[in-house]
Amino acid sequence: MKKIITYIILLASTVGSAQNITEAVRYSSLNQQSTARVAGVAGAFGAMGGDIGVVTLNPAGIGDFRKSEFVISPTIFSISTDADINGADNPTTTDLNSKLTIGALGVVFSGQPRGGKFQTSNFAITLNKRTTLRQRFAYDGLTQGSITTRFAERANGNPPENLDQFEGLLAFNAGAIFDFDGDNFYDTDFKESTVVQKGQEIIRFGAVNDINLTWGGKLSENINIGLGVGIPVVSYEEDKLYVERDEPEDFIPAFNSLEYQENLITSGVGFNIRGGVQGELLEKFRVGLSMQSPTWFNLNDDYSTSLTYSFTDSPTEGPVVTTADSPNGSFRYRLKTPWQATGSVGMILRSESLNGFINLDVEYLDYTNNEFDFERFGGELGDIILQNEANDAIFDQLQNAINLRLGGEVAYNKIRGRAGVAMISSPYLEQSGRDFALSAGLGFRFDGLYIDFAWSRRNQTEGYIPYLLTGNPADNQIVTVEQGLTNLDISVGFKF
């Protein structure tokens, strides 16, 4: 499968820290959850208005409100994954239990100024789930190589007192690497051609939630304009347990087993602004254009690692089991994500019995505009070097992306039917093609009340490297992760 290469380059001084290309993509991807009406058309709503979900697509749509409105939109999502290492025949299937959360929550205060240029002047306060970071997958397979090679590479050329506390020193203290001749070049219990049974479980929790303050007004019957401020809040936790074991028994002399645990917690807050305009042409066509600035994040990583290594020097003495723990690390830094532009065109459908719309959104963002700043909070020389390496990797390995969303709605009396499709481009230069998402929805309108339902499904394929080798990159282990994400959304709105 050609789409499997998504290199996760660990550029910081430890595996446990997360200031790398993967984190840049994680916080720059815009997978906003919204109301069930917008979800039902796959997010294709940029030229439309009158729904609170439009604040993250084009704030000008807020100008279409004629009454104030409160909306709550809970969502249930479930994730399933298949993961295999180096093309193993039997992928490991992992299901993440369904979870109920709030996809969108907000209120619009509608105003109709007397005099002046605006027919409406509306203000919205919303909370939207920008990105769900919940994921769990595992793999297991018999492949060539060991993570101890990674530890030795990072330790080579340094005496034990200069080894980093999260990998090299950890492996040295646990006995996974050793230096019997004292030349500061380290050996392991493995040869380059050794085949090792290895596996890992990765559990990720968290989300990026946007607080949005949005104003939209109708300048005339044909033109809306809008402005908004977004405050994304990051809460993320990642736990990884990597295991190697000697199977069949005594196949690898001296070695019994290895367990390497990594823990990471990321928290922070960001800021962005967006603006948009919508216009109506020939009474049937609507067009829209919106721009969102880069998001400037202040982030903090807290991380730690531990290593347990079991080996047997002498059968008569039995196995030796040693555990080494790192200190608790912490690092504060900034990340700037790319600006985003969305162009929209829609057609209004009107007949004696049916009404509705068709809308196409074209979204552009350039992932190479991600940028780390490790100097802002007193970074040292080593941090500046890592900053430059991380930003160079972003420029070399990411690309610009054009995402397409097409959806429509048909209304008959008080019933609404919806469907949509989205095509999402990969941010990675080496990963061609697009992921597809399908959606469908149903809505009901009553006096002062409405209820909407939506179902959506997205399949995506990505790659993952458990540990990075610099001596011979061809020896890196590649895990293919195929993920299916299903969402069920319900929105309840009250007009007042």
Q: Which residue has the higher pLDDT, 12 or 313?
A: 313
pLDDT reading at 274 higher than 90:
yes
pLDDT digits (tens, 9 = 90+) for 218-228: 998 889 999 99
pLDDT digits (tens, 9 = 90+) for 295-347: 999 999 999 999 999 998 877 778 899 999 999 999 899 999 999 999 999 99
Q: What CATH number labels 2-146+190-495?
A: 2.40.160.60
- Contact between 214 and 62 (Cβ < 8 Å): yes
pLDDT digits (tens, 9 = 90+) for 127-179: 998 888 888 889 998 888 899 999 999 899 999 999 989 999 999 999 999 99
Average pLDDT, the chain: 88
Instruction: Give the C-alpha separation, 275 to 224, whole Å.
Output: 11
Task: Specify which residues 79 forms β-bridges with.
Answer: 96, 485
Assess whether the previous peptide bond of 113 is cis (omega < 30° from 0): no
Instruction: Give the C-alpha separation, 463 to 428, whole Å.
Output: 10
pLDDT reading at 100 higher than 90:
no
pLDDT digits (tens, 9 = 90+) for 394-412: 888 889 999 999 999 999 9
Tell me the backbone φ, ψ of residue 179, rounded to 5 degrees.
Answer: -135, 80
Tell me the backbone φ, ψ of residue 397, rounded to 5 degrees.
Answer: -115, -10
Element (H, E) at 386: helix 381-397
User: SS3 of 396, please?
Assistant: helix
pLDDT of residue 249: 66
Q: Which residue has the higher pLDDT, 271 or 434?
A: 271
pLDDT reading at 91 higher than 80:
no
Share of the chain above pLDDT 70, in %: 93
Instruction: Report the predicted TM-score, pTM, of the whole model to 2 decimal places.
Output: 0.85
Task: Specify which residues 77 forms β-bridges with.
Answer: 99, 487
pLDDT digits (tens, 9 = 90+) for 356-382: 999 999 999 999 999 999 888 776 655
pLDDT of residue 87: 63
Looking at 44-161, list the stretches that DSSP marks H as alpha helix, in order from N- to C-terminal side: 147-155
Instruction: Give the C-alpha separation, 363 to 366, whole Å.
Output: 10
Within 10 angstroms of residue 386's Cβ, the number of other Cβ atoms is 22
User: SS3 of 352, please?
Assistant: coil
Instruction: Give the C-alpha separation, 461 to 423, whole Å.
Output: 13
pLDDT of residue 5: 31
CA 191 to chain CA centroid, Å, is: 37
Confidence of residue 79 (pLDDT cuts 50, 70, 90): confident
Confidence of residue 464 (pLDDT cuts 50, 70, 90): confident
pLDDT of residue 390: 83
Would you report the helix, strand and coil content of the chain in percent, each value rounded to 5?
15, 55, 30
Instruction: Give the C-alpha separation, 214 to 58, whole Å.
Output: 10
Instruction: Give the C-alpha separation, 375 to 39, whole Å.
Output: 40
Crossing angle (nearest 10°) for helices 21-28 and 381-397: 60
Domain spans of the chain?
2-146+190-495
Closest by CA to 338, choosing from 300, 365, 378, is 365
pLDDT of residue 32: 66
- DSSP line for 281-293: ETTTEEEEEEEEP
Instruction: Give the C-alpha separation, 292 to 312, whole Å.
Output: 59
Share of the chain above pLDDT 90, in %: 61
- Contact between 126 and 72 (Cβ < 8 Å): no
Tell me the backbone φ, ψ of residue 361, rounded to 5 degrees.
Answer: -110, 135
Confidence of residue 88 (pLDDT cuts 50, 70, 90): low
Average of pLDDT values for 46-66?
Answer: 94
Looking at 122-240, list the stretches that DSSP marks H as alpha helix, in order from N- to C-terminal side: 147-155, 168-174
Instruction: Give the C-alpha separation, 93 to 36, whole Å.
Output: 29
Confidence of residue 454 (pLDDT cuts 50, 70, 90): very high
User: SS3 of 76, please?
Assistant: strand
User: SS3 of 328, please?
Assistant: coil
Q: In this structure, are strands 296-311 and 255-281 parallel, antiparallel, or unpaired?
A: antiparallel
Instruction: Give the C-alpha separation, 264 to 150, whole Å.
Output: 20
pLDDT digits (tens, 9 = 90+) for 275-287: 999 999 888 999 9
Confidence of residue 13 (pLDDT cuts 50, 70, 90): very low
User: For tokens 């079991």, what's the residue?
Assistant: 310
Instruction: Give the C-alpha separation, 39 to 441, whole Å.
Output: 8
